[in-house]
């Protein structure tokens, strides 16, 4: 069975609907066959509810129509049918028990709907539940207080857990897309974001520029000063790249002492200017040991893949290294 962690929101909604639809349909069928209703015509709606439950299972199991809007309609109809059953089922004590079904509907809303919509559903469920209890219970005040307390506690716990899980998920995603040492984007982030930048450049009739930067003589820094100093050099280099680029640019630590910067430019001359600015920013850091960088760049052609444009930039970087380092070459 596929892990819950690997399922999309739509798949989770679909699975949840499958899990509750058949038991719900069977419960309604049992009520339709065994319970007493006043008026009697309500029994027909209970039968229709059982049939609808099977239909929901079919939709969730075999189609891709289990959208958020579909789930919203299912919960709304369930809420209406529950209120109808609670007010008409006999004896009255069973109607009081039925009111607590609204608790499950509110939990489902809190788990799958947007927070504001979930709160609206929870309030509606609370009002309908209290209404059923007042009409059917012999101790309406006490029963209503218990129902409201359970509703508040349950919904608050579900919403807090949901928000906490979402925050933890967002943090995990952010960490998975960032280089642990420098905080720059990593390769995975690059693979996700560069196609988006490329599409934006094409829509705005501009070009995606790729710069590959390699620290000069970095192995010598590690051998002479140690890896801790080498790590510090990588960190200050990353900071310099961030400060010298725009918010819309993507700065990546590709690996080791190699970095990439992706930027949307009007052409080769603008990419050259960006590369020179980055080279100068690193050369002027004033750190010990003195740090310089060689830069190779390329403009992505419309048919180029990410690997292709990076290969062009790598070739330009090799030429920059060959000219004596601390230099820029654009292919």
| 298 shares a domain with 220 | yes
* Coil/strand/helix, residue 303: coil
What is the rounded distance in angstroms from the CA atom of residue 31 to the CA atom of residue 17? 21
Q: Is a pLDDT exceeding 60 seen at residue 2? A: no
In DSSP terms, which residues pair with 293 in a beta bridge?
Answer: 215
What is the rounded distance in angstroms from the CA atom of residue 295 to the CA atom of residue 261? 10
Neighbours of 140 (CB within 10 A): 16
| 10 shares a domain with 143 | yes
Record the pTM.
0.65
**Number of domains making up the chain:** 2
Residue 178: half-sphere exposure toward Cβ, Cα within 13 Å = 12
Q: Is a pLDDT exceeding 50 seen at residue 1? A: no
As a whole number, mean pLDDT of residues 235-239 equals 94
Q: Determine the pLDDT at residue 5.
A: 56
Flag whether 204 is in a domain.
Answer: yes
Flag whether 313 is in a domain.
Answer: yes
Q: Is a pLDDT exceeding 70 seen at residue 6? A: no
Flag whether 181 is in a domain.
Answer: no
Q: Is a pLDDT exceeding 50 seen at residue 104? A: yes
The DSSP H or E segment spanning 298 is: strand 293-299
| 276 shares a domain with 308 | yes
What rounded mean pLDDT belongs to the chain?
92
Q: Is a pLDDT exceeding 80 seen at residue 119? A: yes
Q: Is a pLDDT exceeding 80 seen at residue 25? A: yes
Q: Which residue has the higher pLDDT, 66 or 29?
A: 29
| 208 shares a domain with 169 | no
Domain containing 316 equals 187-330
For residue 30, give Cα distances in angstroms to 25, 36, 94, 140, 316. 9, 11, 14, 27, 75
Flag whether 287 is in a domain.
Answer: yes
Q: Which of 118, 145, 176 is the last residue of a domain?
A: 176
| 145 shares a domain with 217 | no
Flag whether 182 is in a domain.
Answer: no
| 18 shares a domain with 157 | yes
Q: Determine the pLDDT at residue 239.
A: 95
Q: Give pLDDT tens digits for 127-181.
A: 999 999 999 999 999 999 999 999 999 999 998 998 898 888 888 877 788 998 9
Query: What is the percent of the chain where pLDDT is above 90?
Result: 76
Q: Give pLDDT tens digits for 65-99.
A: 888 889 999 999 999 999 999 999 999 999 999 99
As a whole number, mean pLDDT of residues 242-266 equals 94
Q: Is a pLDDT exceeding 70 seen at residue 259? A: yes
Q: Which residue has the higher pLDDT, 213 or 163?
A: 213
Task: Give the domain CATH number at 291.
Answer: 3.30.70.270
Q: Is a pLDDT exceeding 50 seen at residue 64? A: yes
For residue 168, give both structure tokens.
């933890």
Of the listed ranges 151-155, 270-274, 300-304, the least confidently predicted one is 300-304
Flag whether 306 is in a domain.
Answer: yes
């Amino acid at each position: 069975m596929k892990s819950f962690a690997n399922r999309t929101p739509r798949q989770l909604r679909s699975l949840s609907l499958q899990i509750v639809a058949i038991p719900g349909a069977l419960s309604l069928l049992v009520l339709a066959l065994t319970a007493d209703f006043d008026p009697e015509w309500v029994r027909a709606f209970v039968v229709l509810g059982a049939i609808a439950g099977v239909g929901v299972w079919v939709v969730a199991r075999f189609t891709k129509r289990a959208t958020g809007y579909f789930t919203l309609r299912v919960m709304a109809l369930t809420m209406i049918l529950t209120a109808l059953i609670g007010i008409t089922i006999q004896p009255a004590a069973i109607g009081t028990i039925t009111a607590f079904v609204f608790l499950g509907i509110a939990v489902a809303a809190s788990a799958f709907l947007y927070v504001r919509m979930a709160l609206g559903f929870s309030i509606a469920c609370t009002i309908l539940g209290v209404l059923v209890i007042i009409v059917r219970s012999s101790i309406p005040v006490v029963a209503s207080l218990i129902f409201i307390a359970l509703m508040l506690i349950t919904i608050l716990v579900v919403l807090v857990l949901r928000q906490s899980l979402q925050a933890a998920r967002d943090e995990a995603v952010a960490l998975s897309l960032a280089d642990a040492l420098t905080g720059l984007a990593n390769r995975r982030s690059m693979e996700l974001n560069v196609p988006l930048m490329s599409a934006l450049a094409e829509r705005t009739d501009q070009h995606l520029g790729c710069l590959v930067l390699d620290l000069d003589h970095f192995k010598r820094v590690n051998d002479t000063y140690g890896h801790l100093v080498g790590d510090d050099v990588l960190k200050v280099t990353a900071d310099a790249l961030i400060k010298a680029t725009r918010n819309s640019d993507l700065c990546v630590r590709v690996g080791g002492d190699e970095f990439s910067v992706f930027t949307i430019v009007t052409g080769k001359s603008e990419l050259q200017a960006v590369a020179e600015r980055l080279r100068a920013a690193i050369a002027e850091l004033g750190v010990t040991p003195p740090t310089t960088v060689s830069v190779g760049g390329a403009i992505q052609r419309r048919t180029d893949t990410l690997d292709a444009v990076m290969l062009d930039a790598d070739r330009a970087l090799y030429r920059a290294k060959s000219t004596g380092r601390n230099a820029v070459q654009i292919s």
